[in-house]
Structure 1
Amino acid sequence: MSIQDIIQGKKEWRAHMARVKVLPKDYQIVYKEIQKYLFKVGPVELSDSTGLLSGIVDLFEEGASLGKGVLEVTGNDVATFCDDLIKGSKTNADIYEETVNQEVSKAMKKITDPKK
C-alpha cells in the first residue's frame, strides 16, 4: 500500500464520517454501535473497504429522509441486523475460532503422541 493509497483512504473515511455526523442523533448512536460491532466481530474484508459501512449510511440517510426512527430501519435487535448483513462472510470471530481449534488440536496430539 502506497502513501497515496493511505492518504486517499483517509480522505474517503473523513467524507464517510461527515455523512454520519449529519444524520439525526438516534441514527448516529446506532451507527457507532454497529461500527463497533462490525469492527470486533465483522467480516475480514471490512478492514479493506468501507463499502458495507457506506451502504449502512445510505440506508440510514434514506430512513431519516422518510422520517423513520432508526429502529424502524434496523429493527429492535441491532446485533441481529448486523449479523444478517455479514451472513456468509468470513469474520474475525471465525478466524479466532479456527486458531483456537488448531491450538487445541496440536496440544491434544502432543498428549496422545508425546514423540512429536
Structure 2
Amino acid sequence: MGIQDIIEGKRQWRAHLARVKALPPDYQIVYKELQKYLFKVGPVDLPDGPLLTGIVDFFEEGVAAGKGVLELIGDDVAAFADELIKDTPTYADLYQESVKRAR
C-alpha cells in the first residue's frame, strides 16, 4: 500500500462521511450506532467492503421516499445489523476457529 492508496482511502472516507452528514439527524444517529456496532462485531471485509456505503445508499433512498429511519430498519438496530452480516465472516468467527484449532 503506497502513499497514494492511503490518500485515496482518506478521500473516499471523507466523501462517505459527507454523505452521512447530509442525512437527516435521526438517520445520522442510527447510522452512527450501526457503524459502532459493526466496528465492534467486526465483519472481516468491513473496511474494504461495500457494507457501509450500501447502508448510506439505502438510507438516502429512504429519505427520498419520505420514510423515517425506523420504518426502514425496524425498532431493533442491532437485529438489523446482525441480519446484514449474518453470512459474513467476522473477526469473532476467526478467533473461535483459531481457538478450536489450538485445542
Fold shared by both chains (TM-score > 0.5)? yes
Tell me the equivalent position of 1:15.
15
Letter in 2 for 1:15: A
**Partner AA of 1:68 in structure 2:** K
What does residue 6 of structure 2 align with?
A: 6
- Residue 110 of structure 1 is matched in structure 2 by none
- 2:28 is matched with which residue? 28
Partner of residue 91, structure 2: 92
Amino acid at match of 2:65: L
Provide the C-alpha distance between the structure 2 equivalents of 1:99 and 1:32, rounded to a whole number of angstroms.
31
Q: Deviations over 1:41-75 (max 9, x none)?
A: 131011223x1101100100111111111111111
Q: Does 1:58 align with 2:28?
A: no
> Which stretch has the larger CA shift, 26-35 or 61-70?
61-70
Which residues in structure 2 correspond to 1:72-83 (within 5 Å)?
Answer: 72-83=71-82
**Percent identity over the alignment?**
67
Superposed displacement of residue 76, structure 1: 0.8
Superposed CA deviations along residues 65-106 of structure 1, whole A, max 9, x for unmatched, are 111111111111111111111121110111222234345x2x
Match of 1:18, SS state, is helix
Q: Give the structure with the higher percent helix.
A: 1
Name the count of aligned residue pairs: 103
Larger Rg: 1
- Higher relative contact order (CA closer than 8 Å, sequence separation 6+): 2
Alpha-carbon distance between aligned partners in 2 of 1:36 and 1:99, rounded to the nearest angstrom: 25
Structure 1 residue matching 2:46: 3-state secondary structure: helix
Q: CA RMSD in A?
A: 1.3
Name the CA distance, whole Å, in 1 between partners of 2:76 and 2:52: 18
1:26 & 1:93 partners in 2: Cα distance? 30
Gaps of 5+ in 1: 106-116
Are 1:46 and 2:39 matched, yes or no? no
CA contact (8 A) 1:37 1:79 kept: yes
Q: Does residue 70 of structure 1 match 2:59?
A: no
TM-score (norm 2): 0.92
